[in-house]
Structures are given as structure tokens and as C-alpha cells.
Structure 1
Amino acid sequence: MVEYYGWISISDSTYESDDKALSLVLEKLHVFINEYKINDSLGILKLHQVNRVTQLLVSGCRNHFSQELIDIFKLYEYVAKIAVGSYGLLYIRNDESEDAFNEFEVFVLARGEIKKEKDPFLSPCIPVIEDDEE
């Protein structure tokens, strides 16, 4: 099973967002999402504004690691490239992973880069959130 949960606060600048520049970013994002056919049919993909802050939310659950998750990674990489002021997190739990079968992997988006970090809150999944088989 592969679960993923993520959010991004989208901004074209690390200082002060420009409405015109942000509009261009959002146009590019919509094209990217349509081109890769990333949609919410298998989970959640929501791009919206709240109090003049543009947010992207993603969430889903698949039986196995799939192209859908690869496309979510590509989406995060694309946002990092076109909107360097953006920041957010992507949490992934993949029980088929050889290296991380008992933990959440956290991908941190900030200042145009994505870095993989250890999760200090829900990992190791057994025993933090689940019991071991008895």
C-alpha cells in the first residue's frame, strides 16, 4: 500500500508575490496538470486560493507505487522550478519500499529545491501508529 499526503503554498517569489507573475505560474501549473492528466479521480488534487494565498493539496492511496505518484513528484519538481517562493511537504508511506517500509518519507519543498527528510512524528509506523503482528 502507498499513501501520500501533501500541500504546497505557491508563490513566485521568496519575498513578495507579484499578482501578474503568480498568474503566469498558475497558467503553467494548469497546463502541466492537464498535460500529465493529474486529477483527483484516484485521490485529491485541489488548487485553490484562500485569503489571497494559493494552495495546492494532494492526497491519495494506491495498492502499489504507480505512475500517479511519479506524476505527483514531477508536479512538486515543476512547482519548485517555476515558483521558487513556494514551500510545502509531501509525506509518503510505501510498505513495499525496501528502505522505508516502516516509515513515512518526507519531501520538503523550499526555495526551489526538494529535499528528503526523516519523519520524526509518525515513524517508525510500528509501534508509533500501528501494532506489530502477534
Structure 2
Amino acid sequence: MVEYYGWINLRDSTYESDDKEMNIVLSKLYSYISKYKLNDISGLVNLHKVNGSYQLLVTGNTNHLSQDVIDIFNLCEFIAEIAKGSYGLLYIRNDESEDAFNEFEVFVLARGKIKKEKDPFLSPCIPVIEDDEE
């Protein structure tokens, strides 16, 4: 099983957002979501505006690592390229992963880069959130 949860605060700049630049970012983002049919995946992709800020929320659950999950990660990489001021987190748990079968992998988006970090809150999944087989 693969599950993912993420949020991104969309910003065109690390300093002060510019409405014209932000509209360009949003246009590119809507085109990307449409091109890759991300609204048709098995999870949720929600781009919305709250109190003048744009946010992207993603969540989903698949039986195996699938194109849906890869598409979500690629979306985060695309945002890192076009909106350098954006920041957020993407948590992925893949119980079929050889390296990370018992943990969440956390991908941190900040300043146009994505880096993988260790999860200190829900990992190791057994025993933090689940019991071992008895």
C-alpha cells in the first residue's frame, strides 16, 4: 500500500508576492494539472485560495506505487521550478519499499528545492502507529 499526504503554500517569491507573477504561476499550474489529468487520479488534488494565499492540498492511497503517486511527486517538483517562494511537505508511506517499508518519507519543499528528510513523528510505523504481527 502507498499513501500520501501533502500541502504546499504557493508563492512566486521568497520575499513579497507579485499578483502578476502569481497569476502566471497559477496559469502554469492549472495547465499542468489539466495536462496530466491530476483531477482524475484516485486521490485528491485541491488548489484553492484562502485569505489571499494560494494553497495546494493532495492526498491519496493506492495498492502499489503507481503513476498517480509519481504524478503527485512530479507536481511538487514542477511547483519548485515555477514558484521559488513556495513551501510545504509531502509525506509518502510505501510499505513495499525496500528502504522505507516501515516509515514515512518526508519531502520538504522550500526555496525551489525538494529534499528528503526523516520523519520524527509517525516513524517507525511499527510500533508508533501500528502493532507488529503477533
**TM-score, length basis structure 2:** 0.98
Name 1:94's counterpart in structure 2: 94
Whether the 8 Å CA contact 2:41–2:68 is kept in 1: the answer is no
Name 1:73's counterpart in structure 2: 73
Deviations 1:74-103 (A, max 9, x none): 100000000000000000000000000000
What CA distance in whole angstroms lies between the structure 1 residues aligned with 2:109 and 2:49?
19
State the shift of 1:42 in Å: 1.0
What CA distance in whole angstroms lies between the structure 2 residues aligned with 1:117 and 1:106?
5
Identical aligned residues as a percent: 73
Name 1:113's counterpart in structure 2: 113
- Mapping of 1:4-83 within 5 angstroms? 4-39=4-39, 41-83=41-83
Name 1:123's counterpart in structure 2: 123
Give the 3-state SS of the residue equivalent to 1:14 in structure 2: coil
What CA distance in whole angstroms lies between the structure 2 residues aligned with 1:38 and 1:32?
8
Give the AA of the match of 1:91.
Y
What CA distance in whole angstroms lies between the structure 2 residues aligned with 1:50 and 1:40?
23
What CA distance in whole angstroms lies between the structure 2 residues aligned with 1:74 and 1:123?
24
State the shift of 1:44 in Å: 1.0
What CA distance in whole angstroms lies between the structure 2 residues aligned with 1:10 and 1:25?
9
Give the AA of the match of 1:107.
F
C-alpha RMSD over aligned residues: 0.7
Deviations 1:20-77 (A, max 9, x none): 1000100000000111111154111100000001000000000000001111111000
Name 2:3's counterpart in structure 1: 3
Structure 1 residue runs of 4+, over 3 Å off?
Answer: none
What CA distance in whole angstroms lies between the structure 2 residues aligned with 1:49 and 1:108?
21
